[in-house]
Amino acid sequence: MTDTDPMQTLLRLRGTIDNIDAALIFMLAERFRATKQVGVLKAEHGMPASDPNREEQQVQRLRRLAAEADLDPAFAEKWFNFVVAEVIRHHEEAAAS
């Protein structure tokens, strides 16, 4: 059932979007906490900051998941590449310190 007042519908949908955005931010923060631990481990053991094989496996996995979720796989890959670039930057900083 849809709301008869378009403004009420708009407000309800925006509320849903705001909740999803908040959840995404907290999930992303949790992801970065985990990748920070990976960066420290790699730095302690002289491992390279980047792992191209792992990254390619993740790209393929996320593209499949995106397709299953009816999300553009190219968008999922762009998002992943953006996040990985930041993770690698963190790993390189950990290795330098």
The per-residue pLDDT for 30 is 97
87 part of a folded domain: yes
Q: Distance from CA of residue 45 to its chain's centroid?
A: 26
- Which residues constitute the domain of residue 65? 6-96
The per-residue pLDDT for 4 is 84
Reported pTM:
0.81
Per-residue model confidence as pLDDT tens digits over 20-46: 999 999 999 999 999 999 999 998 999
CATH code (residue 32): 1.20.59.10
1 part of a folded domain: no
Q: Distance from first CA to last CA of the chain, Å, rounded? A: 57
pLDDT of 81 higher than 90: yes
How far apart, in Å, are the Cα atoms of 4 and each of 7, 8, 13, 68? 9, 8, 14, 32
Higher pLDDT, 20 or 94: 20
Q: How many domains does the chain have?
A: 1
78 part of a folded domain: yes
21 part of a folded domain: yes
Element (H, E) at 17: helix 6-44
92 part of a folded domain: yes
26 part of a folded domain: yes
36 part of a folded domain: yes
pLDDT band at residue 1 under the 50/70/90 scheme: low
